[in-house]
Every structure is written in structure tokens, then in C-alpha cells.
């Protein structure tokens, strides 16, 4: 799909990847509708876009609030040709030390937020026989990340949904894409409370992910992994699962050993 003259809604557009994607869509001639919880951050992003852009405040995990924001954007700039489901949060902890509430919160924001926004725009796209939905997932949605079970689970759900929907909607001319990203230099890991500390993979610029989102829309490509070499892990897991799992256990051995030690410490 060409971008010029299209209407695109972006969730999680107040900063990071969503803000970079909104700016690039606007620069390429799309009219952009922004959604996130922080209204003043949204206004700041909007001030850098074309004049016909719009913003609406909503928590994507609140279906009524999100539907209201999508209605407001539709009134302001028309129904979307493109939806970028990008809003998301992380969490980093061993499941032994994680609460049920964190699992619920991540599913509500990362998975159900994607479901609610998609349900709101899909009937219109089907009727118009045109649309593109891009889901910003994660490499952790293709490869289970140790100490990120809540996050990985929520992103695996997004990957499964995307694969199902891409086949279902093909006869309607509605395309679905996945952008699986590795670490990106945004406030994401700070927001989850545990900064990214590994040397590799090197965090990508948010603009790199925005480019991938635009590429998905323009080329119709179903799936991209960024950086590309992380696909090696996905392929290894598929063709040599035992080898992959041994590597995964080895890779997280030091952190797992610390966890064992913590569980063996006498309770105070």
C-alpha cells in the first residue's frame, strides 16, 4: 500500500518507536492519528506532524476508552487505512518472583490492547476491502526469553494472532504484518524497571523500527526481525530445538544460579 494520502492510526505514539513511526508516516504523506495515555506527550508529537494529524488519549487495555479514542480519531481524520499496534510494556523477573498481576497487566496492554484496536477497525477495513495492520511484537514473541515469561507470553500471543489474521483477512484485501524487534534505544527497559545491560544485540534506533513498519505497509511483507541476524535464533529453534534450548539454558545459567541461591536463602 502506498502511504501518501492514507490515514494511519498508531498506538503508543507518545514516545519511542510509536513517535518515530508517526513522524515517518506523516513525512511520507499519511494523515496520522495518535493514541497513548499521556496527552501532553501526544500533543508534543503531534506538533511535529502535518497539520491534519490528530491525537486521542486512551489506555489501550481499557476497551471502552480505546473505542472512544478511535471514534474521536475517525471523526477528526476519517477511518484508518493503516493501524500500527505498537503500545506495549515490559517486565523483567523470574516467574518464581513475579506476581499474577504483572502477567495480567502485560496481557491486557500488549495482547488485549492489540485485540481491542484491531476489533475496532477491522469491520471498516473489511467493508472497504482495504487495510493494513502492523503489529509491533518482539523477538521475545518468537523465542521465549528467560526472566521475561510475562512479556514473552504476551508477545507470543500477538504473533499467533497476527499469523491467524493475515490468512483470514487476505480475501478482504486487508494485510497483516509483524515487526519483531530486538532491543531498541527507547525508555522501554527503564519503564519496566530493569535496564538493558547486554553488549549484544546492540539496541537499534527507534527510526530503524519505524522504517521496518513502513516497509511492511509498502511491500506487504508479513514478518521482519530487527536486527536481521536474530532470525538465526528463530531458524535454529525451528530446525534444531534441542540445540537451541541447551544454548538458552547456558545463556541464562548465571542468572538462574542467582535465582536458585535466592530461593535457598533462609526466610527472615
Identified binder of ligand NAP from the candidate list 32, 36, 84, 161, rule CB under 6 A: 36
Extract the C-alpha cell encoding 244.
Answer: 537451541
Q: How far is the CB of 142 from ligand NAP (least distance, A)?
A: 11
Residues facing residue 181 across a β-bridge: 226
DSSP 240-268: -HHHHHHHHHHHTHHHHHHHHHHHHSPP-
What is the CA 97 to chain-centroid distance, rounded? Answer: 25
Closer by beta carbon to ligand NAP, 37 or else 130: 37
d(CA 136, CA 58): 18
Q: How far is the CB of 86 from ligand NAP (least distance, A)?
A: 5
Order across the sheet with 7-11: list the strands: 54-57, 31-36, 7-11, 82-85, 131-136, 174-181, 223-226
Contact between 61 and ligand NAP by CB under 6 A: the answer reads yes
Contact between 109 and ligand NAP by CB under 6 A: the answer reads yes
Closer by beta carbon to ligand NAP, 6 or else 192: 192
**DSSP-based helix, strand, coil % in the chain, nearest 5:** 55, 15, 30
Catalytic residue flag (residue 9)? no
Contact between 16 and ligand NAP by CB under 6 A: the answer reads yes
Structural Rg of the chain based on CA atoms: 19
Among residues 9, 111, 116, 151, the one annotated as catalytic is 151
Contact between 21 and ligand NAP by CB under 6 A: the answer reads no
d(CA 7, CA 176): 16
Contact between 86 and ligand NAP by CB under 6 A: the answer reads yes
Identified binder of ligand NAP from the candidate list 15, 46, 63, 132, rule CB under 6 A: 15
Interface region with ligand NAP, contact rule CB under 6 A, candidates 35-43, 170-178, 211-219, 246-254: 35-43
**Of residues 179-198, which lie at the interface with ligand NAP (CB under 6 A)?**
181, 183-184, 186-189, 191
Residues in contact with ligand NAP by the rule CB under 6 A: 11-18, 36-38, 41, 59-61, 86-89, 109, 136, 138, 181, 183-184, 186-189, 191
> Active-site positions?
151
Amino acid at each position: 500500500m502506498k502511504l501518501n494520502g492514507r490515514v494511519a492510526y498508531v498506538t503508543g505514539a507518545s514516545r519511542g518507536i510509536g513517535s518515530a513511526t508517526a513522524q515517518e508516516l506523516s513525512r511520507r504523506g499519511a494523515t496520522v492519528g495518535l493514541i497513548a495515555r499521556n496527552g501532553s506527550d501526544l500533543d508534543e508529537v503531534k506538533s511535529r506532524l502535518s497539520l491534519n494529524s490528530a491525537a486521542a488519549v486512551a489506555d489501550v487495555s481499557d476497551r471502552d476508552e480505546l473505542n472512544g479514542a478511535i471514534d474521536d480519531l475517525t471523526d477528526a481524520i476519517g477511518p484508518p487505512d493503516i493501524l500500527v499496534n505498537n503500545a506495549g510494556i515490559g517486565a523483567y523477573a523470574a516467574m518464581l518472583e513475579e506476581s499474577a498481576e504483572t502477567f495480567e497487566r502485560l496481557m491486557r496492554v500488549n495482547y488485549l490492547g492489540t485485540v481491542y484496536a484491531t476489533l475496532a477497525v477491522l469491520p471498516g477495513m473489511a467493508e472497504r476491502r482495504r487495510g493494513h495492520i502492523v503489529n509491533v511484537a518482539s523477538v521475545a514473541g518468537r523465542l521465549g526469553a528467560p526472566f521475561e515469561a510475562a512479556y514473552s507470553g504476551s508477545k507470543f500471543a500477538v504473533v499467533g494472532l497476527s499469523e491467524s489474521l493475515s490468512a483470514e483477512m487476505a480475501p478482504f484485501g486487508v494485510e497483516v504484518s509483524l515487526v519483531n524487534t530486538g532491543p531498541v534505544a527507547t525508555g522501554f527497559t527503564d519503564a519496566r524497571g530493569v535496564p538493558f545491560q547486554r553488549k549484544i544485540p546492540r539496541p537499534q534506533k527507534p527510526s530503524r523500527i519505524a522504517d521496518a513498519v513502513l516497509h511492511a505497509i509498502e511491500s506487504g511483507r508479513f514478518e521482519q526481525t530487527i536486527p536481521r541476524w536474530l532470525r538465526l535464533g528463530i531458524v535454529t529453534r525451528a530446525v534444531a530445538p534441542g540445540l537451541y534450548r541447551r544454548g538458552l539454558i547456558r545463556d541464562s545459567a548465571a542468572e538462574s544460579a542467582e535465582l536458585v541461591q535466592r530461593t535457598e536463602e533462609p526466610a527472615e
